[in-house]
Amino acid sequence: MLENLGLFGLFLACLLSATIIPFSSEAIVAGAMLLGYPVPVIVLVATLGNTAGGMISFYMGWLCKWEWLERWFKVKREKIERFRGHIEKYGVWAALLTWLPIVGDPLAIAMGFMRLNPLWTCLIMFVGKLLRYIVSSYLLGLTNWF
């Protein structure tokens, strides 16, 4: 179905995978590559979508009450609190790791809860996710960038 949506489908899938919805965007990225889209375009669209999803998680932490996060999104307060020390130590640079499975979403939520600078968080998150997709495209054996 997403192949019918083209690059918008790629963007949407990568956005959703960066929220608390558990699935990997690498399969979608690989599918887009198999459909023949240029690798740089795929990497850029995937990075933009994944960063937008990460910022949704960030603003969930910024705006939501703990009760909402626990009840509706099944994010435990203890998990977010565990990240607090790391975030206090590294600040917005922790956003480089929001691409990681399992810990990336709670990390983004914790960063929002701690009210880190949204612009810097977004920019650093973008860089981390961009590096992720560049590396994963090479690992998939898709080195034809032009």
Mean of pLDDT values over 125-141: 90
Three-state secondary structure call for residue 25? coil
Structure-derived torsion over alpha carbons of residues 95, 82, 22, 73, reported in degrees to the nearest 10? -110
| Per-residue confidence (pLDDT) for residue 2, from 0 to 100 | 55
pLDDT score recorded for residue 3: 62
pLDDT of residue 78: 78
- Answer whether 61's CB lies under 8 Å from 111's CB: yes
Highest mean pLDDT among 2-16, 44-58, 95-109: 44-58
Query: What is the percentage of the chain residues whose pLDDT exceeds 90?
Result: 42
Q: What is the mean pLDDT of the segment spanning 11-26?
A: 85
What are the CA-CA distances from residue 72 to residues 28, 64, 102, 137 (Å)?
Answer: 26, 11, 18, 34
Domain range summary for the chain, segments of one domain joined by +: 2-139
Residue 20 or residue 108, greater confidence:
108
Instruction: Work out the average pLDDT over 10-18.
Output: 92
- In the prediction, which pLDDT does 119 show? 97
User: What integer is the mean pLDDT of 94-101?
Assistant: 91
Asked if residue 17 lies in contact with residue 50, where contact means CB atoms within 8 angstroms, the answer is: yes
Return the closest-CA partner of residue 119 out of 45, 66, 43, 59: 59
Q: Each residue of 101-113: pLDDT tens digit?
A: 888 888 898 899 8
What's the predicted TM-score (pTM) here? 0.86
- Strands of 19-124, DSSP E: none
Amino acid at 101: P
